[in-house]
Chains A and B, each alone.
Chain A
Amino acid sequence: MRTRWYFQTIKYLLLALFTFIFVYPIFLMFSSSFKTNIEIFTTPLSLPKSFSFENFIEVWDVVNFSNYIWNSIIVSSASVFIVLFVSSLAGFYLARYPFKWNTAILLFFMIGLMLPMKLAVIPLYMMMMKLGLLDTLFSLIFIYVAGGIPFAVFLFYGFFRTVPKALEDSARLDGCNEFQIYYKIVLPLMKPAISIVGIVNLINVWNDFFYPLIFIRTDSLSTIPLGMLTLFGEYDTEWNLLFAGLSLSALPMIVAFLFASRQFMEGLTEGAVK
């Protein structure tokens, strides 16, 4: 097939334009966090005159940044781990043991896939109040786990059905119990499903702002996104700190993406299509 040169040129020009549109705001965020407040005000577009990490150190001190990071790590890792564990067990059950209520249970999980959970936040708030979990990280973990389960169960269910049963039957003859079969035989074959569910949930939980906004009141219990609200509320004129705070928040995910961009992109799109 012959491609005309001007056609190719237009394509690359468009790609360059959009690369600029997508990268420049992020670049500006990082470069501005090395500038002083006056520099940002007088020359907002120019590169920083010197590279000092002062803003990062200051923003780390003025808000509870280390707490935010720590809370985000605890909430994300606990939620992702629990979602993976309970959903893979449930998916295994539904795919492997032909009980008569399995279809009903799949429908039961389907409801959660179709309705936006945000809107159930009033009853959730009342429930957390009764359980004494308001303003604790547990409230967030419970909500993220519950929210992640329907999608994860369906994905695992689909994957488990593709694994041939012969392996399990021979393991059963060798005296493995059902949990050993799940844990030793089937789960190791599930790596693609585990990585999709893990990535989708990690990104959702790590970046979520809505539930911490409702359920967390104590600043030292904030996750990173909610911490940004504190930062912007208290230092709204000191843009050097604001940019530095945003950069620190964005950095972990960007670094993770540099190392595993393919897995991230595949995980999220497969998550949406399935």
Chain B
Amino acid sequence: MSSFKTTEGMAHRKKSKRKHLVHLFLLPAVLLYGVFQLYPLISAAFNSLYSFNGFDKNQFIGLQNFITLFKEKPYNTFFFNAFQHNWIYFFVTVLTQLAISLLLALIIHSKIKGKEFFKSVFFLPKLLSVIVIGFLFSLILNPTRGALNSLLDGMGLEFLTRPWLGSMDTALFSVIFVDSWASIGFSMLIFLAGLQAIEPEIFEAARIDGANPLTILTRITVPMLGPSLMIMTVLVFIGSFETFEYVFAMQGSTGGPYYSTDVLTTFFYRLAFGTVDGGQSIGVGSAIAVVLFLIIGLATSTILFVFKRKDFER
């Protein structure tokens, strides 16, 4: 009797021990993500409160790095200059990229032949590395040897030729154009997925009621695309404040000419890994990271909130 009890107890213990092994399923993901992503993210926030000597943490200085960033020259000049460019980047991208990709999605969704072909063609640039795209366009937009100016010349449009990346008036817009060129196919697919989710009966009913195509577009299609528009606006916003590679590839880490394409990430890069002075740069760089965390976090939740409220009102 007693021996039966012990074996049962042992079997039970063995089983519960094996049960604990199940936690091994979770462990590798938690460890890898915790150590190499979450810890650095939190650590970046804390670093902004310290002074640094090269990469060595010196002492706690409270919000001094933020005061330096916002108030002290030349940091504040660089910061607000770059900050402004990020906003321009966002607004121009939202207006052009989203409008064009919505137009393309509407065309492909309508009655046409070769849908799959056009989808693939427009999506193609998304597969290339951003640095390959950036470098490719630095060649195409070159003032003397580039293909764009040659093309304009050949079409008799000499008056339009200009140093696209070399002039302060056009440089930022050229970079944004290249970014949009690469991203339109992706946002088009998001809109297309949204369009396909709308029930065809709704359009049918509107048409029977005598609505013209423009009314259908503005009163039915665009409002029904709310979720896709929201996703894309958030993604474009995050992309505009995170943007680094296109500027780096075409205009260098200083965002040339004369910092006219400088953005927060290139300024951040120069502070952390460039040659701006040794003493303060890591602390101030971390402060930029925190500012960007806050902007992206706040904007993402604001946009989500606005769209949510619109949903309730309707």
Contacts and interface: CB of A to CB of B under 8 A. Distances in A.
Given A117-B41, A124-B36, A254 B127 contact: yes
B130 interface: yes
Contacts of B103: 14
Given A143-B36, A232-B135, A119 B289 contact: yes
A118 B272 contact: no
A119 B293 contact: yes
B244 A11 contact: no
B246 to A, nearest CB: 10
A25 B177 CA distance: 13
Q: Which of under 10, 10 to 19, 20 to 34, or 35 or more describes the interface residues of A?
A: 35 or more
Q: Which of under 10, 10 to 19, 20 to 34, or 35 or more describes the interface residues of B?
A: 35 or more
B29, B112, B120: residue with the most chain A Cβ atoms closer than 10 Å:
B29
Given A143-B36, A269-B193, A272-B231, A28 B147 contact: yes
Contacts of B129: 206-209, 224-225, 228, 249-250
A26 to B, nearest CB: 7
Contact of B112 (A12, A111, A119): A12
A122 B139 contact: no
B104 interface: yes
Interface in A167-211: 177-178, 182, 203, 206-210
Interface in B25-47: 25-26, 28-30, 32-41, 43-44, 47
A214 interface: yes
Contacts of B289: 119-120, 122
A45 B235 contact: no
A203 B126 CA distance: 9
Interface in A129-147: 129, 142-143, 145-147
B19 to A, nearest CB: 9
Contact of A26 (B104, B112, B125): B125
B92 interface: no
B38, B108, B131: residue with the most chain A Cβ atoms closer than 10 Å:
B131
18 contacts: A1-B111, A12-B112, A15-B118, A22-B124, A22-B184, A45-B154, A85-B28, A93-B22, A111-B38, A116-B293, A116-B296, A119-B44, A178-B22, A209-B130, A246-B132, A250-B132, A262-B116, A272-B231
